[in-house]
């Protein structure tokens, strides 16, 4: 079986001791990984990892938490790295009004600047949205035409899924789809065309059942695929194949 974990943070210090083993377990299970930058340092690390491994790709970008550090030189660095073949997206970018680690107007500015960058470089985007959906949708709707990218760790219901699909976006489904309380999310996934679904871990966070409570890693993405397969009423091999095709198409991966 071949799978793509479309959103992981392999640079995270949770993998400091055994990163090579984590990557080896994923590869042994047929899993390719898009590792996502969240600031300058982690974006640089993501590019390095992607340079070293044929089945790892990188996204470069600044998470809304660190929006206050985004300046012209940050954007120039992202632009420089984005020219690399192994860099396939700008992300993760967006808004986070739950933790509010950067002022909201600064988050919106950094988000708009990185959306512009992605458009200029013709790269898809990886979006982060936490308790900021109204402003996120408003900013996305400012741009003409459709967007190309994925709402990572989508947690909403059917109406919100529809709003993102209408903007041309894919939905990234992760570990929370396996959590008992997330019935509305499962209902939403049932209604989303498979062509618009990606699967992800967000490792080391959001560990799926049955490993919930432990550190997450890309090899656990099979448990997300299993749950999505159940919801769509198809075989897990089918979900693996089709979400891999989606990732290949969206990010232009060579596998």
Residue closer to Zn ion (CB basis): 129 or 202:
202
**Beta bridge partners of residue 199, listed in sequence order:** 173
C-beta of 39 vs 202, nearer to Zn ion: 202
Closest distance to Zn ion from the beta carbon of 152 (Å): 6
Report the phi/psi class of residue 70: left, alpha or beta, with left for phi > 0 and alpha for psi in -120 to 50: beta
CB of 38 to Zn ion, least distance (A): 7
List the alpha helices (DSSP H) in the chain.
19-28, 40-52, 72-82, 104-121, 133-142, 158-166, 183-191, 221-232, 236-251
Nearest by Cα to 128 from 190, 59, 179, 219? 59
Closest residue to Zn ion, based on beta-carbon distance:
202
Minimum separation from the CB atom of position 77 to Zn ion (A): 19
Distance CA 199, CA 74 (A): 29
Q: Which residues of this chain interact with Zn ion, rule CB under 5 A?
A: 202
Instruction: Answer for the pair 188, 156: CB distance below 8 angstroms, yes or no.
Output: yes
**Edge-to-edge strands of the sheet including 3-8?**
3-8, 31-36, 56-60, 87-96, 125-130, 149-151, 170-173, 197-199
Closer of 5 and 202 to Zn ion (Cβ):
202
- Residue 55, φ and ψ in degrees, nearest 5: -105, 25
Between 9 and 186, CB nearer to Zn ion: 9
Verify cis geometry, omega within 30 degrees of 0, for the bond prior to 204. Answer: yes
Least distance from Zn ion to the Cβ atom of residue 174, Å: 9
**Residue with smaller CB distance to Zn ion, 96 or 113:** 96
CA 226 to chain CA centroid, Å, is 19
Residues facing residue 93 across a β-bridge: 127
Nearer to Zn ion, 126 or 222 (CB): 126
Within 13 Å and on the Cβ side, how many CA atoms surround 86?
21
Q: Which two tokens stand for residue 4?
A: 């793509």
Closer to Zn ion by Cβ: residue 26 or 229: 26
Q: How far is the CB of 202 from Zn ion (least distance, A)?
A: 5
| CB of 201 vs Zn ion, minimal distance in Å | 9
Q: Residue 190 CB, nearest distance to Zn ion (Å)?
A: 24
């Amino acid at each position: 079986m071949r799978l793509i974990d479309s959103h992981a943070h392999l640079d995270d210090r949770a993998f400091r001791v055994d990163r090579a083993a984590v990557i080896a377990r994923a590869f042994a299970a047929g899993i390719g990984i898009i590792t996502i930058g969240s600031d300058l340092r982690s974006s640089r690390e993501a590019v390095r990892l992607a340079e070293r491994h044929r089945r790892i790709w990188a996204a470069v970008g600044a998470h809304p938490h660190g929006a206050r550090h985004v300046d012209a030189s940050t954007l120039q660095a992202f632009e420089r790295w984005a020219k690399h073949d192994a860099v396939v997206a700008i992300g993760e970018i967006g808004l986070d009004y739950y933790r509010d680690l950067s002022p909201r107007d600064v988050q919106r500015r950094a988000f708009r600047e990185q959306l512009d960058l992605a458009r200029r470089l013709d790269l898809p985007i990886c979006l982060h949205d936490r308790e900021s959906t109204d402003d996120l949708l408003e900013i996305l709707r400012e741009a003409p035409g459709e967007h190309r990218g994925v709402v990572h760790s989508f947690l909403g219901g059917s109406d919100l899924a529809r709003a993102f699909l209408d903007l041309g976006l894919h939905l990234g489904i992760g570990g929370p789809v396996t959590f008992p309380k997330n019935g509305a999310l499962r209902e939403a996934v049932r209604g989303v065309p498979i062509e618009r679904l990606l699967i992800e871990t967000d490792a080391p966070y959001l560990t799926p059942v049955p490993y919930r409570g432990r550190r997450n890693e890309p090899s656990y993405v099979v448990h997300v695929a299993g749950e999505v397969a159940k919801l769509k009423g198809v075989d897990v091999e089918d979900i693996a194949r089709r979400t891999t095709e989606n990732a290949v198409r969206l990010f232009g991966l060579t596998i």
